[in-house]
Amino acid sequence: MLRSLFAGISGLRVNQTMLDVTGNNIANANTTGFKASTTVFADTLSQQLTAASGGNAERGGTNPIEIGLGVQLAATMANFGQGSAQLTNRPTDLMLQGDGFFVLRDGAANVYSRAGAFTFDQSGVLVAPNGMRVQGYALDGAGLPTGGPIDVDLNLIDGTLPAGVDLTSYSIGPDGKLRGVFSDGVQRDICQLAVADFTNPMGLEKVGDTAYRESANSGPVQLGVAGQGERGQMIAGRLEMSNVDLSAEFTNLILAQRGFQASSRVITTSDQVLEELVNIKR
């Protein structure tokens, strides 16, 4: 009876966690670049009453007799499936069609995000809504990325422009290159946005602001550009929406509620049995 009480309590805990995860998914159903999570349960250690035995010439083998001790949370797993595209027509709104993450500079460290709602600040640097600076590469004479990640800045090309030539407009292509149209009518590549990839994206740690950071189980960051390796193409004028499936989440709500309710019933029944045991002498 005590075992059933503790098993019921463990069921309450994990189903409450499932409710928490599901509630967070639903709350972020309209969050740009958000990736839904699911809970995975596993049973706990079982108490062995009788060990298994092998057969012999006189008697066959027997299976072990074990009693489970409840349930535990095995993992919360992020779903990095592609979210739907929302048309914005803003040239600095970007989405990745395929694998990869935008690279953002957070102080002295980089974080990674699928949310591409960017804009240029007053100094011409491409930033996220929270002020983190989008990272990219300078380009060599052949238009290839060179050196380490730098801030994506409209002013990177200023020192190489002829006198009196100014930037009139810009665009970001599928390869992530920031291209400027200048007052002399010539298009010039300014820089190229960096795209990060990981061996195990589900191992990334959430840091808020729809961003992630590298962890011991994500594998080291693999920096590159859009369309390189397994990294997806970049699409300007669109944002990747949340990949939350509301119909699935509402079903999970029902499952978590019923699981919580059933675990509560186990505790109530165990309490009634204990009460009957106490009342035997009456």
Residue spans of the domains in the chain: they are 2-80+244-281, 85-240
pLDDT class of 233 with cuts at 50, 70, 90: very high
Rounded to the nearest integer, the mean pLDDT of the chain is 93
Q: Is the pLDDT of residue 39 over 80?
A: yes
Q: Which residues contact 274 (CB under 8 A, 6 or more apart)?
A: 1
Q: What is the mean pLDDT of residues 70-77?
A: 95
pLDDT tens for 135-174 read: 999 998 888 999 889 999 999 988 888 888 999 999 999 9
pLDDT tens for 101-125 read: 999 998 889 999 999 999 999 999 9
Q: Which of 202, 229, 234 is nearest to 103 (CA)?
A: 234
State how far the Cα of 219 lies from the Cα of 226, in Å rounded to an integer.
Answer: 20
Positions of E strands within 61-215: 65-68, 71-78, 85-87, 94-97, 101-106, 109-113, 119-120, 126-127, 133-139, 145-151, 167-172, 177-182, 187-193, 195-197, 205-208, 211-213
Predicted TM-score (pTM) of this structure? 0.89
pLDDT class of 1 with cuts at 50, 70, 90: low
Q: Is the pLDDT of residue 243 over 90?
A: yes
Q: Is the pLDDT of residue 257 over 80?
A: yes
- Please report the pLDDT score of residue 172 as a whole number: 96
